[in-house]
């Protein structure tokens, strides 16, 4: 008799591929977002009117470093589950949708120099993060909880993005 751990298709992804799948896409988004964001900080972004609750520029990379690490670890936990586990594939899909939207925001807001486009993307990102947390929570509560600080930061960023759009529109 086979248990879930030995049944065909129910094994977890091996450690090295699991690590690479969890870390490399997150790192790629972090690097690409930084490449489009950094050149615009001292120029376009500095010229915008911003609300009093805007954090100093150094706070953003510090926060994102922690958040990206939490995101990668949350995904690693989900990838550690047996491949045949119901909901696992959908949870991983939700994660990659929100990750793509995360990177798209930097290209919309900074690359396109458009707070309005950024606001559209970040609204979709909030929905995608909520869906990812829900999917992760059902499979592994710690993985879902690891994404809560990310949701909080993106909710704050949404308020900041919307206020910048209003002040500069």
70-113 pLDDT, tens digit each: 999 999 999 999 999 999 999 999 999 999 999 999 999 999 99
Could you tell me the pTM of the whole model? 0.91
Q: Which distant-in-sequence residues (6+ apart) come within 8 Å of 38 by Cβ?
A: none
114 is written with which tokens? 């458009």
* CB-CB contact of 101 with 128 (8 Å): yes
* CB-CB contact of 45 with 120 (8 Å): no
pLDDT of 13: 75
Nearest Cα to 37, choosing from 102, 84, 98, 99?
102
133-161 pLDDT, tens digit each: 999 999 999 999 999 999 999 999 999 99
Question: What structural domains and CATH numbers belong to the chain?
Answer: 15-47+61-168 (1.20.1260.100)
């Amino acid at each position: 008799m086979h248990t879930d751990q030995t049944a065909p298709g129910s094994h977890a992804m091996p450690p090295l591929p699991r690590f690479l799948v969890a870390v490399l896409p997150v790192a790629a988004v972090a690097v690409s977002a930084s490449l489009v964001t950094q050149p615009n900080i001292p120029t376009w972004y500095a010229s915008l009117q911003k609300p009093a609750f805007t954090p100093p520029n150094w706070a953003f990379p510090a926060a994102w470093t922690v958040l990206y690490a939490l995101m990668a670890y949350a995904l690693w936990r989900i990838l550690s589950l047996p491949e045949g586990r119901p909901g696992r594939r959908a949870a991983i899909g939700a994660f990659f949708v929100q990750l793509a939207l995360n990177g798209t925001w930097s290209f919309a807001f900074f690359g396109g120099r458009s707070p309005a486009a950024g606001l559209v993307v970040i609204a979709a990102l909030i929905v995608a993060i909520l869906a990812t947390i829900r999917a992760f929570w059902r499979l592994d509560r710690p993985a879902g909880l690891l994404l809560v600080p990310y949701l909080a930061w993106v909710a704050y960023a949404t308020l900041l993005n919307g206020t910048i759009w209003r002040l500069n529109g």
